[in-house]
Amino acid sequence: MDRHQVLEIKKEFVQSFMLNGPFKGYINAIGLTNRTMAEWSKGGHTEPTEAIRERLTKTGENPEELIIHVGLVKALPENLSLPGEYKGVKLEVQVIGEIKAL
């Protein structure tokens, strides 16, 4: 899937999940990233990105695969869950807290 297709799917995801429906108050950020950077972020920025790329490659994953990164204000309640992928694009969900402007 090319970057343009992933961007279009991300726009649809924003409309379906961030701006409407039961997730509206939970999602505060949605962006595109690749698998390497998603793993780096999830791991607390401690593992070198080159090591992450090597690990992903060894497990048969594409370290440059584009994914949708979803930032949550707080953890979802038990009755809500986001899918692992949306229209063929993997989702990485992370509780990042509230974003405030300075």
Phi, psi of 86 (to 5 degrees): -135, 115
Query: What is the spatial distance between Cα 75 and Cα 10, in angstroms, rounded to a whole number?
Result: 21
pLDDT in tens, 26-54: 998 899 999 998 888 876 667 788 998 99
Query: What is the spatial distance between Cα 63 and Cα 65, in angstroms, rounded to a whole number?
Result: 6
pLDDT in tens, 56-90: 999 999 999 999 999 999 999 999 999 999 999 99
Query: What is the spatial distance between Cα 83 and Cα 76, in angstroms, rounded to a whole number?
Result: 12
Nearest to 24 by CA among 69, 73, 96: 73
Nearest to 86 by CA among 22, 1, 26, 25: 1
Q: Where do the structural domains in the chain lie, given as residue ranges?
A: 3-95
| pLDDT score, position 45 | 65
